[in-house]
Amino acid sequence: MMKGKGILSPNLKLSLPPPAETSFAKFLTESGTFKDGDLLVNKDGVRIVSKSESEAPPPIKPSETDSDDQLNLDDIDAIKVIGKGNGGIVQLVQHKWTGQFFALKIIQMNIEESARKQIAKELKINQSSQCPYVVVCYQSFYKNGAISIILEYMDGGSLADFLRKVKSIPEPYLAAICKQVLKGLMYLHHEKHIIHRDLKPSNLLINHRGEVKITDFGVSAIMTSTSGLANTFVGTYNYMSPERIIGDNYGYKSDIWSLGLMLLECATGQFPYSPPNQAEGWTNFYELMEQIVEQPPPSASSDQFSPEFRSFISACVKKDPNERKSAHELLGMPFLNMYDGLDVDLSSYFNNSGSPLASLELMWQLVTYFVTYLFRKLVFTMMRYNISGHFFISKTYKATPTVSPSFWQSAYGTSNQFMLHVQIETMDGYSRLPPNVTDPSSTLA
Supply the DSSP string of 341-375, one letter for each residue.
TS---HHHHHHTTT-HHHHHHHHHHHHHHHHHHHH
- Closest by CA to 200, choosing from 245, 254, 150, 154, is 254
What is the spatial distance between Cα 138 and Cα 322, in angstroms, rounded to a whole number? 37
What is the spatial distance between Cα 177 and Cα 169, in angstroms, rounded to a whole number? 10
Contacts with 24 (C-beta within 8 Å, 6 or more apart), sequence order: 109, 110, 116
Q: Are 41 and 123 in contact (CB under 8 A)?
A: yes
Q: Are 201 and 168 in contact (CB under 8 A)?
A: no
What is the spatial distance between Cα 364 and Cα 323, in angstroms, rounded to a whole number? 38
Instruction: Using alpha carbons only, give the angle 54, 124, 246 rounded to the nearest 5 degrees.
Output: 120
Q: What distance lies between CA 265 and its chain's CA centroid? A: 13
Q: Is 105 annotated as a binding residue?
A: yes
Residue type, 40: L
Contacts with 121 (C-beta within 8 Å, 6 or more apart), sequence order: 217, 218, 219, 220, 222
Within a 10 A sphere around the Cβ of 307, how many other Cβ atoms?
12
Q: Which residues of 329-354 are buried (b: 16+ CB within 10 A; e: fewer)?
A: ebbebebbebbeebebbbebbbbebe
**Does residue 77 have an active-site annotation?**
no
Torsion of CA 127, 132, 133, 136, to 10 degrees: 30
- Closest by CA to 253, choosing from 341, 158, 186, is 186
What is the spatial distance between Cα 133 and Cα 181, in angstroms, rounded to a whole number? 7
- Residue of 38, 155, 198, 255 marked active site: 198
Binding residues for ATP: 105
Among all residues, which ones are annotated catalytic? 198
Binding residues: 105
